[in-house]
């Protein structure tokens, strides 16, 4: 960028990633902190590409009827763009309209990346989780980054500049109370605040040695490392447990089949499946983090047919396919496979490997609608149709949306 350029833009659509779309002289401009329907003054931040530019809202000229005061003043458009805290990029939008925009992103992703124009996608709504009416107070895990002077804070939106803040409104009360926003951590890179279901909130400074915490879902306890993966929203684990249980078609479920929980963490979704279908359920939870699978083995111990394996899914499943005999193949054809991959999705290699096993049904839990849509497109090529889809607002005031899709063999 030679010099800072500002333009008045009419914002028309929402794009994946929490940014809005405007057009100027026929060129697409992705604009942050705006809402479709608004006219804004925006500063161009990237104009090196032919096909699109990027811009940040500097001033709202004609606000949307859905604009509200930002739930986090540290992220407000009233601040200079480079000083706005990141992680609440929808906080200036009414909560119900955030969900409408997320719905549009899910539907649009399915149309563009899965080439899917189906009533199942059209009927999807983004369901709210229990919690505060204003969508704050749900985060049980927060990472603060530390700047060169030792001061902790969130990164600014779209950069690694640490922003000093006085509050963390998306976090639970206990996490807010425990957050050391005035302390100094010279020489550290980050500080995590983690609230487990029992034992209050704790600080994890830098690469501190992990200790064991307990999470509770319904009347079931899960043990895990405080540095390990657990769903972030206070109600997320319960919501996904129920959603996965409901996404499985009982008529296609076989307790004795070689059922799988891929990207299984500490066994949350394997437990959901086994709870739904009873003590005889066979299911293997596969996860790359050996500490997590160690905990998963213990968390799943009460089900005789449940176990946990350590491995990268792409290799583990290739190995399974390579060594399966006719009996194993029949058990895999009868199987239900649950997968909950990271943001990048399962990808071609894993989708092809699962498709090759020809399981009866697949339940795909996704935190990225574009990655999900790409994988649904790949599954369609392997003979699987989308038969159910739900979306959940697991991350209010951010652009993130979680989806649970059921795919059934044709």
Ligand X SMILES: C[S@@+](CC[C@H](N)C(=O)[O-])C[C@H]1O[C@@H](n2cnc3c(N)ncnc32)[C@H](O)[C@@H]1O
Applying CB under 6 A, which part among 4-12, 199-207, 309-317, 392-400 lies near ligand X?
309-317
Determine, following the binding rule CB under 6 A, whether residue 313 of this chain makes contact with ligand X. yes
Residue 364 marked ligand-binding: no
Q: What are the DSSP calls for 3-19, one per residue?
A: S-EEEEEEEEEE-TTS-
Q: What are phi and psi of 76, to 5 degrees?
A: -70, 155
Distance (Å, whole) CA 116 – CA 254:
29
Min separation Cβ 153 and ligand X, Å: 26
Strand partners, 337: 260, 362
Min separation Cβ 355 and ligand X, Å: 17
Residue 263 marked ligand-binding: yes
Burial-class residue 56 by CB neighbours within 10 Å (0-12, 13-18, 19+): buried
Applying CB under 6 A, which part among 40-48, 116-124, 163-171, 257-265 lies near ligand X?
257-265
Q: Sign of the C-alpha dihedral, residues 252, 258, 264, 267?
A: positive
Determine, following the binding rule CB under 6 A, whether residue 312 of this chain makes contact with ligand X. yes
* Contacts to ligand X from residues 330-389, by CB under 6 A: 340, 342
* Buried residues in 224-240 as b, exposed as e (16+ CB within 10 A): bbbbbbbbbbbbbbbbb
Q: Which residue lies nearer to ligand X by CB, 31 or 363?
A: 363
Total of chain residues touching ligand X, rule CB under 6 A = 16
Cβ distance 42 to 31 under 8 Å? yes
Determine, following the binding rule CB under 6 A, whether residue 229 of this chain makes contact with ligand X. yes
Residue 68 marked ligand-binding: no
The interface mask with ligand X, positions 260-289, x = CB under 6 A, is: ---xxx--xx-----------------xxx
Residue 231 marked ligand-binding: yes
Q: Which helix (H) or strand (E) holds 195?
A: strand 190-195
Terminal C-alpha separation, the chain: 52
Distance (Å, whole) CA 298 – CA 294:
7
Considering the candidates 240, 367, 373, 378, report the single residue annotated as catalytic: 367
Determine, following the binding rule CB under 6 A, whether residue 231 of this chain makes contact with ligand X. yes
82 labelled catalytic = no
Determine, following the binding rule CB under 6 A, whether residue 246 of this chain makes contact with ligand X. no
- Residues annotated as catalytic are 367
Interaction site with ligand X (CB under 6 A): 229, 231, 263-265, 268-269, 287-289, 292, 312-314, 340, 342
Which segments are annotated as binding site for S-adenosyl-L-methionine?
Answer: 231, 263, 287, 340
Which segments are annotated as binding site?
Answer: 231, 263, 287, 340
């Amino acid at each position: 960028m030679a010099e800072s350029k500002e333009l008045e833009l009419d914002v028309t659509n929402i794009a994946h990633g929490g940014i809005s779309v405007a057009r100027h002289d026929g060129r697409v401009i992705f604009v942050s902190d705006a809402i479709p329907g608004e006219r804004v003054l925006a500063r161009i931040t990237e104009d090196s590409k032919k096909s699109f530019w990027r811009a940040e809202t500097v001033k709202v000229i004609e606000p949307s009827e859905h604009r509200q005061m930002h739930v986090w003043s540290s992220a407000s458009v009233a601040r200079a763009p480079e000083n706005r805290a990141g992680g609440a990029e929808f906080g200036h939008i009414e909560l119900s309209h955030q969900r409408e925009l997320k719905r549009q992103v899910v539907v649009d992703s399915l149309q563009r990346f899965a080439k899917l124009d189906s009533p199942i996608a059209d009927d999807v709504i983004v369901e709210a989780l229990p919690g505060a009416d204003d969508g704050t107070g749900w985060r049980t895990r927060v990472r603060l980054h530390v700047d060169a002077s030792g001061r902790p804070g969130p990164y600014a939106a779209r950069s690694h500049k640490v922003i000093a803040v006085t509050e963390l409104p998306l976090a639970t009360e206990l996490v807010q109370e425990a957050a050391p926003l005035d302390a100094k951590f010279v020489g550290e890179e980050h500080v995590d605040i983690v609230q487990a279901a029992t034992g209050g909130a704790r600080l994890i400074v830098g690469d501190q040695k992990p200790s064991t915490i307990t999470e509770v879902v319904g009347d079931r306890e899960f043990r895990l490392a405080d540095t390990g993966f657990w769903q972030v929203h206070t109600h997320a684990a319960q919501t996904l447990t129920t959603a996965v249980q409901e996404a499985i078609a009982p008529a296609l479920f076989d307790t004795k089949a070689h059922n799988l929980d891929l990207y299984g963490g500490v066994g949350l979704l394997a437990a959901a499946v086994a709870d739904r279908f009873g003590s005889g359920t066979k299911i293997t939870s596969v996860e790359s983090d050996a500490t997590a699978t160690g905990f998963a083995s213990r968390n799943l111990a009460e089900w005789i047919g449940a176990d946990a394996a350590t491995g990268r899914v792409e290799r583990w499943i290739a190995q399974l396919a390579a060594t399966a005999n006719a009996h194993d193949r029949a058990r895999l054809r009868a199987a239900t496979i649950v997968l909950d991959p990271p943001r990048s999705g399962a990808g071609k290699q894993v989708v092809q490997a699962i498709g090759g096993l020809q399981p009866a049904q697949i339940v795909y839990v996704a935190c990225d609608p574009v990655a999900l849509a790409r994988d649904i497109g790949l599954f369609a090529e392997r003979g699987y149709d989308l038969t159910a889809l739900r979306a959940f607002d697991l991350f209010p005031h951010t652009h993130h949306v979680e989806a649970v899709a059921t795919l059934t063999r044709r």
